[in-house]
Amino acid sequence: MDEAYQREVARADQALRRDDFETAFKHLERAHVLAQRMTGRHTFIHWRMLVAGLRRGDLREALGQVPRILASMLFSRLWVPRGNNGRSRVSAFKPMPVPDDLRHLVP
């Protein structure tokens, strides 16, 4: 799981350096699914989504990440909606399907 998480974060960072926000968010979403139960990593992904939203000029995405950052610090180990992609346009309480290639890594 660590390797898959690191790979998704690296790919998101590469996409952000190119200002390819769609690809960056795709990889951040995948990293979010992997990191939901690990407080530090979960919070980091929401921070990266906030930064990506600001860089993209998407204020709704960026502002929506603020409460998710706080919630990730408080609830990551207690309860998370399995498969949720972490984006601001999706309810923070909505379970979502886990991508097939990550399913074996997500409890």
pLDDT for residue 3: 96
Report the pLDDT value the prediction gives residue 101, as an integer from 0 to 100. 96
At residue 55, the pLDDT reads 97
Residue 56 lies in a domain: yes
| pLDDT value of position 107 | 80
Q: What is the pLDDT of residue 5?
A: 97
Q: Is 94 helix (H, G, I), strand (E, B) or coil?
A: coil
Cβ proximity of 33 and 102 under 8 Å: yes
- Contact between 31 and 42 (Cβ < 8 Å): no
Range of the domain at 38: 2-88
105 within a domain of the structure (yes/no): no
pLDDT at 21: 98
- Tally of domains within the chain: 1
> How long, in residues, is the chain?
107
Question: DSSP string covering 7-63, please?
Answer: HHHHHHHHHHHTT-HHHHHHHHHHHHHHHTT-HHHHHHHHHHHHHHHHHHT-HHHHH
Q: Looking at the domain assignment, is residue 48 inside a domain?
A: yes
Is residue 103 situated within a structural domain? no
Q: Is residue 98 part of a domain?
A: no
Residue 104 in domain = no
Phi and psi (nearest 5°) for 27? -75, -35
pLDDT means per 10 residues, the chain with 107 residues, are 96 98 98 96 98 97 97 92 95 94 93
